[in-house]
Amino acid sequence: MNTARGGDVTEDLPPEPVASLLAAGHPERVWELLPSLTFGDALRVASLLHRTGWRPGGRGNGHGDAHPRRSAALFDLLVRTNQQVGLGRSGRDAASALRFPPVARGLTGLGIATAAQPSLAPDTGLIALVHRDGSFRVDHLTIWDPWSCRRVWWHPLPRGLGGGRFTRLLFAADGQIFACHRPDRFPREPERLLVFGYDAGSLVVRELDSAPSGFYALAPMPAGPDEAVCAVHADGEMTVWPAVPDGAPGHPRPPSVRLPIPAGHELDVGLRPDANLAVSADGERICLVTRRRPGTARQVTVADRRTGKELAAATLESAVAEVSFLPDGETAASRAGSTVSFFGGSAPVADWPVGPAQRVLFLPDGEHVLVAHASGSIEVHTWPDRALVGFLSGPEFLITLTVSPAGDRVVALGERGRVQTTVWDSAVLRLLHRPLAEAAPRAPALVRAMSAQAAGDRWELQLRALAALLEHRPQPGRRE
């Protein structure tokens, strides 16, 4: 890096055109480049100009900002922010220091522990919870809007479902809520596959299927007019249950397909209730995890959803924490321990070590992947280069992370005595690694909302600086 007036310049910055402008003695033109930089680079540029002794709005330079007072205040804020957050020397290190709180958080009025893992509706973003009242021990099904943090519907469950265990709860795209329930008093009874519906404000519970033994894997089908959920029984029988219009009679059992489960294997429960089955975005492929009994060997299989034909398979010697599909619809991802492996696609992808993650979520935009940890820290990586560009700040004891099919809303849920939610608009992810000039028009409002959530936190200052930079970018003056 070249040196500039007023000090020795050693910070790692893009060599062109920043270095050449500084060498030519035009710091005001470097200041005008801020909209073409990322937020982390903009902070380092402001700090660098401060070290050289330059300040916007000075007289006599011939290239000053058109709004010197506003520009000088922004300059001071960026310098102070850079000093507080301590950005690294490289562009990647600087970006990874950025931490974004949610746009909304909390579930007001819910001060009780859940009895089943919460599920997010893929179309509306509503949350379905089964919880138990601390005084009366009555199971309730409630639906919440995480964006406004308000309850929109609740109903007590029938007595026959009380005292049991909901192993899986799934909010399908058509609004139906599917559940797997196992009685606690009679553990040898089969797990029941249920669906919850509504009739004139009352809860209607239908039993779809039961078997002599075993359990189910559930996964939502892509939002569409005909299909709601894919259910796989322990012996490999797969049924795609249809969407049912409001007021329609009960569910007739659709035709089933037999999946290729190896001899001596059975459906693997996994470390999470939703860790053993995934459906591709087009609904044409499924990814299934089976395990050898007895033994530790697992097999991850990609199969054609309509015929059950095996398309790809991989054998692992450890438990599989979760499976999913990449946005291309062909490549499957499985996480075992701290490593994500890929298979089934047209191009091979190398394994990816992610550490002790709670969830690895590939977003529908094909540009981002989120690595969530139980502490609530959520890493934001770009895809496919896997570069770490920042963090989201989620709830402690994070248990699940999900995204709407459109990719516009990301929701994290945690449970520490009570359910906690954090919600992001995915537009904020682009602010971590895209030039500020490409920021969406709604970005300033999103950053202001995050600033309100971050009041008193250590990243409040950098959010204020980002909001100011998005709203009051340096304006080029008239060139002589």
Q: Each residue of 65-100: pLDDT tens digit?
A: 557 788 899 999 999 888 876 654 444 444 445 778
Report the run of H or E that residue 374 belongs to, with start and end.
none
Most confident of 111-115, 140-144, 235-239, 365-369: 365-369
The per-residue pLDDT for 100 is: 82
The per-residue pLDDT for 223 is: 67
Dihedral sign for Cα 162, 164, 165, 171, please. Answer: negative
Whether 352 has a pLDDT exceeding 70, the answer reads yes
How far apart are alpha carbons 252 and 242 in whole angstroms?
A: 9
Q: What pLDDT band is residue 26 in, cutting at 50, 70 and 90? A: confident
Q: What pLDDT band is residue 16 in, cutting at 50, 70 and 90? A: low
How far apart are alpha carbons 380 and 360 in whole angstroms?
A: 10
% the chain with pLDDT above 70: 79
**Residue 25 DSSP code:** T
pTM across the whole model: 0.84
First to last CA, the chain: 28
Whether 13 has a pLDDT exceeding 70, the answer reads no
Query: Under a CB-based contact definition with an 8 Å cutoff, are residues 134 and 115 in contact?
Result: no
Whether 455 has a pLDDT exceeding 50, the answer reads yes
How far apart are alpha carbons 289 and 268 in whole angstroms?
A: 6
Q: Which of 8-17, 134-143, 337-346 has the lowest mean pLDDT?
A: 8-17
Whether 381 has a pLDDT exceeding 90, the answer reads yes
Whether 12 has a pLDDT exceeding 80, the answer reads no
The per-residue pLDDT for 302 is: 93
The per-residue pLDDT for 185 is: 60
Gyration radius of the chain over CA positions: 26
The per-residue pLDDT for 378 is: 94
The per-residue pLDDT for 296 is: 78
Q: What pLDDT band is residue 476 in, cutting at 50, 70 and 90? A: low
How far apart are alpha carbons 232 and 122 in whole angstroms?
A: 20
The per-residue pLDDT for 326 is: 92
The per-residue pLDDT for 93 is: 47
Segment 364-375 shows an average pLDDT of: 93
Whether 433 has a pLDDT exceeding 90, the answer reads no
For residues 266 and 85, the model is more confident at: 266
How far apart are alpha carbons 36 and 27 in whole angstroms?
A: 15
How far apart are alpha carbons 420 and 367 in whole angstroms?
A: 27
Report the run of H or E that residue 219 belongs to, with start and end.
strand 216-220
**Residue 252 DSSP code:** P
Whether 204 has a pLDDT exceeding 70, the answer reads yes
How far apart are alpha carbons 43 and 65 in whole angstroms?
A: 18
Q: What pLDDT band is residue 341 in, cutting at 50, 70 and 90? A: very high
Segment 439-452 shows an average pLDDT of: 85
Mean pLDDT score of the chain, rounded to an integer? 79
The per-residue pLDDT for 369 is: 96
Distance (Å) of CA 281 to CA 41, 122, 220, 287: 36, 12, 10, 12
Tokens found for residue 457: 């936190």
The per-residue pLDDT for 305 is: 92
In 3D, which of 205, 203, 154, 159 has the Cα closest to residue 179? Answer: 205
The per-residue pLDDT for 137 is: 65
Nearest 5 degrees, angle CA 239-CA 240-CA 242?
135
Query: Under a CB-based contact definition with an 8 Å cutoff, are residues 32 and 18 in contact?
Result: no
The per-residue pLDDT for 91 is: 42
Q: Which tens digit of pLDDT belongs to each residue from 52-69?
A: 889 887 543 444 455 778
Tokens found for residue 143: 């639906």
Tokens found for residue 7: 């000090």
How far apart are alpha carbons 160 and 150 in whole angstroms?
A: 28
Query: Under a CB-based contact definition with an 8 Å cutoff, are residues 409 and 424 in contact?
Result: yes
3-state secondary structure of 128: strand
How far apart are alpha carbons 118 and 243 in whole angstroms?
A: 21
